[in-house]
Homo-oligomer: A and B are copies of this chain.
Amino acid sequence: MIKVKVVGCGGYGGVGIVELLLRHPHVKIQTLVAATETGMLMSDLYPHLKGFCDLRIHKPDEPAAQEPADVVFFSTPDGVGMVQAPAELAKGARVIDYSGDFRFNNTADYAEYARRIGRDPVHKAPELLPQTVYGLPELNRQNYAKDQRLVGNVGCFAMSCLLGLAPAAAAKLIDFRSVICDCKTGVSGAGKKATPIHHYPARYENMQAYRLSGHQHVMEIERMLGQLADEAVPVTFTAQVLPICRGIMACLYGTLRDGITREQVWAAYADYHRANSFVRLYDSKTAIGTANVRGSNFCDLVVDVDERTRRLRVISHIDNLVKGQAGNALQNMNLICGFPENTGLDFPGSYP
């Protein structure tokens, strides 16, 4: 059994990974750490876990929080992993970080990212950057080292866009100056902290775009698409929030290159995602919505061509807390620990 520590267990990303780890056949949750709610039992904070996870939540500086683990998940905001991960790695752990701290391989890229989100551009553990990997198995599996020890888990919006656009980028189906990502997220994507804009009366019956001037996820998306396309792929990205809890639906647009046919589009998508068991492809005749992926690690893609306007249109659906966060983190754990990628993740969610 693999011993796991979860740092930041109190938020939605923390409870999400705990729920998934409870289903994993080869894992024992050993240590829970959080900055607040310390001293409580996990099942006091989340009563639905009563009888399933009654561990005490430790402060980061308590001795119990320092106990070595085989795998450590940092379900923490930007800036935490880069400070605490080095000690965990030194104790022999593998580390999977949810934030942007380890999504970039060099200090220059990190600095640009940090500036966009208004943080100090100087990385606190620059020596680790060459060792980290962008944790998107479906696109990047071949770049994980044989003994990969550090993973930067992917942002939820980036996940929805990259799974939907990677085949178009890799097969050069579209004009790379024409890409638009119109992305709608459920409220849980903003985390557990109560804020005026996500207060129930302010959020029900309300849809709105936010942070139009630039969203941090654009950079991840453009970098990966650029690598796949082997040229720059600038993206217009619109983040929107809606009165649902879980789910991202991304409408992805690009103008088809001359001569590209619907059949070529479909073949490119089928080919690219053949080995990706969590990606399911549909044509536009099936009625797919985010409810079809709720609670699961799947990404359901509707791949469509608007012949009249010669435009590729892909509708990408994920559960932002599973494939967009904890589920993908667990998939990363499986990959770097030598389990089949879908171990403990091979289930369909529930409906309705």
Across the interface, A209 reaches (CB within 8 A) one of B16, B192, B213, B302, namely: B302
Contacting chain B: which of A27-35, A97-105, A239-247?
Answer: A239-247
Q: CA–CA, A230 to B242, complex, Å?
A: 36
Question: Which residue in B178, B192, B242 is a CB contact (below 8 Å) of A207?
Answer: B242
Stretch in A140-148, A268-276, A287-295, A331-339 with 4+ CB within 8 Å of B: A287-295
Contacts of A298 in B (CB 8 A): 48
Q: A200-B199, A243-B200 are in contact. Are A236 and B311 (CB under 8 A)?
A: yes
- How does the 8 Å CB contact mask read for A178-219 relative to B, with 1 for contact and 0 for none? 101010101110001111111111111111111011100000
Q: Residues of B contacting A244 with CB < 8 Å? A: 204-207, 242-243
Within 8 A of B (CB), among A100-120: none
* A253: Cβ under 8 A from any B Cβ: yes
Pairwise interchain contact A188-B206, C-beta atoms closer than 8 A: no
Q: Binary interface profile of A, 66-82, with partner B (CB < 8 Å = 1, else 0)?
A: 00000000000000000
Is B192 touching A194 in the complex (CB atoms < 8 A)? no
A41 to chain B, nearest CB (A): 12
The answer to whether A349 has its CB under 8 Å from any CB of chain B is yes
- Given A194-B196, A201-B352: A206 and B291 interface contact (C-beta under 8 Å): yes
Chain A residues packing against B (C-beta within 8 Å): 12, 15-16, 19, 22-23, 46-52, 177-178, 180, 182, 184, 186-188, 192-210, 212-214, 234-236, 238, 240, 242-247, 249, 251, 253, 255, 277, 280, 282, 284, 286-296, 298, 300, 302, 304, 306, 308-309, 311, 313, 315, 347-352
List chain B residues, Cβ under 8 A from A186. 201, 205
Name A188's closest neighbour in chain B (CB-CB): B201
Ordered by A's residue number, 23 sampled pairs between the chains whose C-beta atoms are within 8 Å are A12-B201, A47-B300, A48-B348, A48-B350, A48-B351, A51-B348, A180-B311, A187-B199, A192-B199, A192-B352, A195-B199, A198-B199, A198-B201, A199-B200, A200-B243, A205-B246, A205-B247, A207-B289, A208-B288, A209-B249, A209-B315, A236-B309, A253-B253
A192 and B251 alpha carbons, distance in the complex (Å): 28
Does B180 contact A22, Cβ atoms closer than 8 Å? no
In the complex, A49→B49 CA distance in Å?
26
Contacts of A292 in B (CB 8 A): 47-48
Q: Is the pair A48, B293 in contact by a Cβ cutoff of 8 Å?
A: yes
CA–CA, A287 to B280, complex, Å?
35
Residues of B within 8 A of A284 (CB): 212-213
Residue of B nearest to A246 (CB): B205
Q: A213 CA to B15 CA in the complex, in Å?
A: 30
Q: How far is the CA of A236 from the CA of B251 in the complex (A)?
A: 12
The residues of B that contact A288 with a CB separation of less than 8 Å are 47, 208
Contacts of A236 in B (CB 8 A): 253, 306, 309, 311, 313
Separation of A49 and B295 alpha carbons in the complex (Å): 12
Contacts of A294 in B (CB 8 A): 48, 205
Assess the A240–B249 pair: CB atoms within 8 A. Answer: yes
Contacts of A207 in B (CB 8 A): 184, 242, 244, 247, 249, 289-290
Distance A311 CA – B16 CA, assembled complex (angstroms): 37
Chain B residues contacting A49 (CB-CB under 8 Å) are 348
